Chains A and B, each alone.
Chain A
Amino acid sequence: MGKDIREDIAWAQINKDVLKSLESPRKLYWVILLVAIAMVGVAVGCEIYQYNVGLGVGNFDNPNVWGLYIATFIFWIGMSHSGTLLSAILHLMHADWRKPIYRFAEAMTTFSLMTAGLFVMVHLGRLWQVYYALPYPSERWVWPNFQSPLLWDAMAIFTYLSSSVLFLYIGSIPDLAICRDNIHQGWRKKLYTLLALGWEGTDRQWRNFRITYLTIACFLIPLAVSVHSIVASDFAMSQQPGWHVTSFPPYFVAGALYSGCAAIITLFIILRYVFRFEEYMTLPILRKTVRLTFAIAMVWTYLNCIEFAATWYSHDEAAKAVLIEKATGRFAPFFWGMIFCGSVVPFALMVKKWQTSIPVMFAVSLLLNLGMWLERWMIVAPTFSHGYYPWTWDEHMWPSMVQWGIVFGSFGWFTLLFMVFCKVVPSVSMYEVKEMVYHRSLAKKKEEQAVKEELAVKGAN
């Protein structure tokens, strides 16, 4: 097992190390950035083509009206959940170990939500009329339909995104002030001056800061649960076989936390190497994240079993047919792939030796993410091709390269946003790491004191 953060590290050293990441990442950073831009280019090309010709180029058909777009949309929404889990829930629980890694988790939340939002747009037939879904004042009194889960979805995502951005921003203010104070000129100076909101670190500012941060953290937790429950409602509120399942909201929330945690492990490893954060993103932290991921993986597996059992023992013949189709039909490789990646691979997380092995954890986390993407694909696709109406059963529909290209590009888009963010905003929270180091050194001193006193008492006796 690797070293944890040193208790005696100087505060100035922390500033220096983190600020260095804004200036000189490894060369790999630029490679990743270029690859991401190329991927976005592919997606933009596909989207322009689709926008001009129509959605038909995605190779949709009559029963299969939603495809990879909606599956990937759920994937990105899901990935956004662990940022909140790590930063808000663990913040309230005073879990110290989250401090060096929560900032990037929050950034992940924000950017994956933004990516998910794009999918809503990409999937629309008439993108240019998207504002119809907003309740804007209209002279004709035409409002959106508040009965539709899609509308709840739009509102939930918007609320969650705005709250997450606020949470991320407020939590970064003290660090942005440090950046401002350490840079003397250029656009960065202007940017940080603007963003730091005149932070000086006075007692009054710290007090207000703490209260605000705590309030938003409390606000964000129910929001995170609600947002994915509502995404689940898109399916559970419909009456299609395979979707009309009561346990969908908790199942989606568990799946969201699961894929988010897996993504955190992946990004942890990438950031740690690319921005030289070995000192702060330590292996004991990785080990704790890995254990958390395993626990959530088991919750997800349980809910998955519940869903299958409920369908199997119900009288809903159509839903049962969809389940059988998933397990034995043409979707079988994906279905069993999902079971393997989502429920079997996590046991690798329990091997003590592997928990702190960077290459193994990287590979495992990628597999978990793949499993979670397959889960979403398995929720969306089979119900369409094997619905209530046998006449429309469709064995052949397969997404075209346009759909795949846009899905592929979305990963580039996310990476691009994330990498740019990490280069501009300190992705390790400096002030919280200082707190953590301070508390730990205090605890260590107390311990030493206690030992000394004990020895003194013994000596006296």
Chain B
Amino acid sequence: MSVSNLLENWSKFRHTHPVDDKGHPDWEAYPSDIKWAMSIDLDACTGCNACSVACYAENNLPVVGKEKYSHGQAMHWMRIERYWDETAGVGEFSADQGARFLPMMCQQCEAAPCETVCPVGATNHTEDGLNSQIYNRCIGSRYCSANCPYKVRYFNWYNYPEQENAWPSPLNQQLNPDLTVRTKGVMEKCTFCKQRTYTARNNAKTEGRPVQDSDVQTACQEACPVGAITFGNLFNPESQVAKQWQSQQVELTKEVQDKDEKEGNRLRGYRILEELRPYPSVMYLERVRESAV
């Protein structure tokens, strides 16, 4: 790379803000016709953890054991968060309504706080709208994790495959051959099952047609017994995820969703920590209760 090359292709090297040049639904400047997105219906979620387990199996996640888990060193790319309603005062919680569950994974932000801060560019944006993590390139500065508002990036604190024996035999036989086993000192995170979307994209390309919902499912989506998770191409108006986003009046490039006032009360779609403007690609559908608390 020469300086002249750098100057000539300046716009290419410079990330523009997603809102500046990609006005939904035109997305003229977007490099590809795919933007993977997800929506999760919290009303359906029962907190069964099947998604989390499927994610472990699909993505070769090391099982760290009780002790390290209690030290906060778990490697789950997808975690089920549990919240209780607060009733009387601070610290008192009611079990009457049951817990709320919130499956949390990388939100695949369009303006990702993690991408700008990595000193070596190990995390960057793919053409299909994901935050990718290049394991080989990562030097383990952990700045991405420090700047992630959702804290969904997981660092390999130990050398799991060798020293920590995360997959004692014969569990090592069930490791997924489609992706790597990460080693110590590397940051990793949910990839929206990159290995699956990649295959789906290639198949669709070979057959000369756009990617459809039937082409790909993420592991968590596949495992969810109640079908709470919807995944697909947000740019394909026929996809279920695009329909959901549209029906909930949630737009990717809007920081504050200006929802129709009449419909507003009935709409359930929201994204977490939108006010920080990372433009996350995961929409949650609020839980509806029989009696409002």
On whether the beta carbons of B139 and A129 are closer than 8 Å, the reply is yes
In angstroms, Cα B276 to Cα A64, docked, is 20
Q: Please list 28 pairs of residues, one from A and one from B, whose beta carbons are closer than 8 Å in the complex, sorted by A's number.
A: A53-B159, A56-B158, A63-B151, A65-B145, A66-B146, A124-B140, A124-B185, A125-B140, A125-B185, A125-B187, A129-B139, A132-B139, A133-B120, A137-B1, A138-B1, A143-B121, A145-B116, A147-B15, A147-B117, A148-B116, A148-B118, A148-B121, A150-B141, A240-B149, A388-B149, A391-B81, A394-B72, A397-B72
- Asked if A125 meets B72 with Cβ closer than 8 Å, knowing A144-B119, A144-B121, A148-B118, the reply is no
In angstroms, Cα B71 to Cα A63, docked, is 11
In angstroms, Cα B139 to Cα A127, docked, is 7
In angstroms, Cα B147 to Cα A384, docked, is 10
On whether the beta carbons of B158 and A389 are closer than 8 Å, the reply is no
B104-137 vs A, Cβ < 8 Å mask (1 yes, 0 no): 1000000001001111110000000000000001
Interface size class of B (residues with CB under 8 A): 35 or more
A154 within 8 A of B: yes
Residues of A contacting B163 with CB < 8 Å? 53-54
| Chain A min CB distance to B93 (Å) | 14
On whether the beta carbons of B141 and A123 are closer than 8 Å, the reply is yes
On whether the beta carbons of B73 and A65 are closer than 8 Å, the reply is no
B142 within 8 A of A: yes
Residues of B contacting A142 with CB < 8 Å? 121, 137
On whether the beta carbons of B1 and A384 are closer than 8 Å, the reply is no
A187 within 8 A of B: no
> Interface majority SS on B: helix, strand, loop or mixed?
loop
In angstroms, Cα B154 to Cα A133, docked, is 21
A392 within 8 A of B: yes
B205 within 8 A of A: no
A461 within 8 A of B: no
Residues of A contacting B121 with CB < 8 Å? 142-145, 148
Q: Give the residue of A53, A55, A63 whose beta carbon is less than 8 angstroms from that of B72.
A: A63
B68 within 8 A of A: yes
Q: Give the residue of B72, B74, B119, B149 whose beta carbon is less than 8 angstroms from that of A145.
A: B119
On whether the beta carbons of B146 and A126 are closer than 8 Å, the reply is no
Q: Give the residue of A125, A132, A148, A387 whose beta carbon is less than 8 angstroms from that of B155.
A: A125
Q: Which 9 pairs between the two chains have the least Cβ-Cβ distance?
A: A125-B140, A61-B72, A125-B185, A56-B157, A54-B184, A145-B121, A126-B185, A150-B119, A65-B142
B181 within 8 A of A: no
- Asked if A124 meets B141 with Cβ closer than 8 Å, knowing A53-B158, A56-B158, the reply is yes
| Chain B min CB distance to A397 (Å) | 6
In angstroms, Cα B146 to Cα A396, docked, is 18
B252 within 8 A of A: no
Residues of B contacting A145 with CB < 8 Å? 116, 118-121
In angstroms, Cα B143 to Cα A132, docked, is 15
B53 within 8 A of A: no
A185 within 8 A of B: no
* A interface with B by C-beta (< 8 Å): 53-56, 59-66, 123-127, 129-130, 132-133, 137-138, 141-145, 147-151, 154, 234, 237-240, 384, 387-389, 391-392, 394, 396-397
Residues of B contacting A384 with CB < 8 Å? 146
In angstroms, Cα B273 to Cα A448, docked, is 76
Q: Give the residue of B1, B74, B143, B276 whose beta carbon is less than 8 angstroms from that of A148.
A: B143
Residues of A contacting B184 with CB < 8 Å? 53-56, 125-126
Q: Give the residue of B137, B157, B276 whose beta carbon is less than 8 angstroms from that of A55.
A: B157
On whether the beta carbons of A62 and B74 are closer than 8 Å, the reply is yes
On whether the beta carbons of B138 and A126 are closer than 8 Å, the reply is yes
On whether the beta carbons of A125 and B120 are closer than 8 Å, the reply is no
In angstroms, Cα B154 to Cα A129, docked, is 19
Name 5 extra pairs, CB < 8 A, besides A145-B116, A148-B116: A53-B163, A124-B141, A149-B117, A154-B119, A388-B150
On whether the beta carbons of A151 and B119 are closer than 8 Å, the reply is yes
Q: Give the residue of A124, A240, A391 whose beta carbon is less than 8 angstroms from that of B146.
A: A240
